[in-house]
């Protein structure tokens, strides 16, 4: 690696780590704990993504690739694994229930909005919604989950009313952290692919931003961006649902792929003097 590339990569990593480190410090995670996780991920990536073709992963090669000692690698391998697969599973299932609620005409009112649903009692109740869109998750468990994170509420009539048009937990720090591990991973994974991809095989990756906006314009842009982005994501959600084998078992085709599109909003207050911006980044 050239010195110039190394410096550019170090600067990029430092910038992407800043918001992550804020989250870690805010939640009382010391550097040592972060370093332990980083070592585990370094080892896992070296063992799974960078081994020689036709040869089994080896501790010696992992030591060369990661810079970790063989002793430390063996210690990491003996440690109990830790991941957020359960959180990811709940997130995906709950997100599908919410998206089904806002696009399936059986669960919409005359104005095309998600209608309050009885837990059970007719052919388009909450239990039916869960059966259609969450696989084998029991309706009661899904209701408890959506209530817990603030996605739904129970009305005085005993019906279940949707409060949000996307599954982004208002409560439940574990679920929010789980989203950090999935959404940010997808974005960085796309960037990684594009850095290595040949011309014409890159994945879509775009953003739009201006850096000299008045506060009033940002206040107007915030709801505009949210509204248009939600419309776009609901359109894509409806298209993907038509081709997903879990929702449409008769779907034909080869292989099993995961694909989607993520949209996120960002804003930052900058110093009025452009010369001071570097210190704020």
Report the b/e string of 17-55 with b at 16+ CB within 10 A: eeeeeeebeeeeeeeeeeeeeebeebbeebbeeeeeeee
Mean pLDDT of all residues in 29-49: 90
Q: Per-residue DSSP letters for 181-240?
A: HHHHHHHHHHHHHHHHPPTT-PPP------SS--HHHHHHHHHHHHHHHHHHHHHHHHHH
pLDDT digits (tens, 9 = 90+) for 131-188: 998 877 899 999 998 888 788 999 999 999 999 877 665 555 666 676 777 788 889 8
Helices (H), the chain: 3-26, 31-49, 59-66, 70-78, 85-103, 126-133, 139-148, 173-196, 215-243, 277-280
What share of the chain in percent tops pLDDT 90?
46
The confidence band for 274, taking pLDDT boundaries of 50, 70 and 90, is low
pLDDT reading at 31 higher than 80: yes
Burial of 268 from C-beta contacts in 10 A (0-12 / 13-18 / 19+): exposed
Structure tokens at 78: 């003996």
Q: Where are the domains of the chain?
A: 1-81, 85-162
Between 224 and 89, the higher pLDDT residue:
224
Between 168 and 57, the higher pLDDT residue:
57
**Which pLDDT belongs to residue 116?**
94
What share of the chain in percent tops pLDDT 70?
88
**Which pLDDT belongs to residue 178?**
67
Query: Which pTM was predicted?
Result: 0.61
pLDDT reading at 84 higher than 70: no
**Which pLDDT belongs to residue 3?**
86
At the second CATH level, the architecture of 85-162 is Orthogonal Bundle (1.10)
């Amino acid at each position: 690696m050239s010195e110039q590339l190394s410096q550019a990569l170090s600067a990029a990593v430092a910038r992407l780590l800043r918001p992550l480190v804020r989250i870690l410090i805010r939640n009382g995670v010391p550097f040592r704990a972060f370093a332990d996780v980083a070592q585990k991920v370094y080892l896992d990536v070296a063992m799974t993504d960078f081994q020689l073709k036709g040869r089994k992963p080896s501790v010696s090669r992992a030591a060369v690739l990661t810079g970790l000692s063989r002793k430390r690698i063996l210690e990491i391998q003996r440690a109990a694994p830790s991941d957020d697969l359960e959180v990811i599973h709940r997130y995906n299932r709950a997100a599908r229930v919410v998206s089904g609620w806002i696009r399936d005409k059986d669960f919409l009112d005359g104005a095309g909005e998600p209608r309050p649903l009885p837990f059970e009692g007719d052919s388009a109740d909450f239990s039916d919604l869960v059966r259609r869109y969450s696989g084998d998750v029991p309706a009661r468990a899904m209701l408890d989950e959506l209530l817990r994170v603030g996605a739904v509420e129970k009305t005085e009539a005993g019906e279940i009313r949707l409060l949000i048009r996307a599954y982004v937990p208002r409560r439940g720090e574990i679920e929010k952290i789980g989203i950090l591990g999935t959404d940010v991973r997808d974005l960085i994974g796309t960037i990684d692919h594009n850095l290595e991809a040949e011309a014409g095989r890159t994945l879509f990756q775009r953003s739009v931003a201006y850096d000299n906006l008045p506060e009033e314009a940002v206040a107007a842009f915030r709801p505009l961006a949210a509204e248009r982005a939600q419309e776009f994501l609901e359109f894509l959600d409806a298209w993907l649902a038509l081709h997903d084998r879990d929702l449409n078992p008769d779907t034909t085709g080869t292989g099993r792929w995961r694909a989607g599109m993520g949209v996120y909003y960002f804003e930052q207050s900058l110093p009025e003097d452009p010369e001071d911006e570097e210190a704020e980044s």
